[in-house]
Amino acid sequence: MQAHTLGVAVTVCFVPEYAFLAGAHLVLTSLSEPVRRGLRADAADSA
């Protein structure tokens, strides 16, 4: 019974953090993609 409680506690502690990290990674990836495209376009224009 104690092991089960420990497992639940670990899950409750780590799953939201993992979900947050995964979400933050997705947001950063989606935000940085247009920025990279813009930088490439600027480099092509100035070259």
Its sign, for the CA torsion 22, 28, 31, 36, is: negative
Q: Is the pTM of this model over 0.75?
A: no
From first to last of its 47 residues, the chain has per-residue pLDDT tens of 688 888 888 888 788 888 889 999 999 999 998 888 898 888 888 87
The pLDDT, as a whole number, for residue 2 is 80
The pLDDT, as a whole number, for residue 35 is 86
The pLDDT, as a whole number, for residue 1 is 64
The pLDDT, as a whole number, for residue 43 is 86
Query: Which value, in Å, is the radius of gyration of the alpha carbons in the chain?
Result: 20
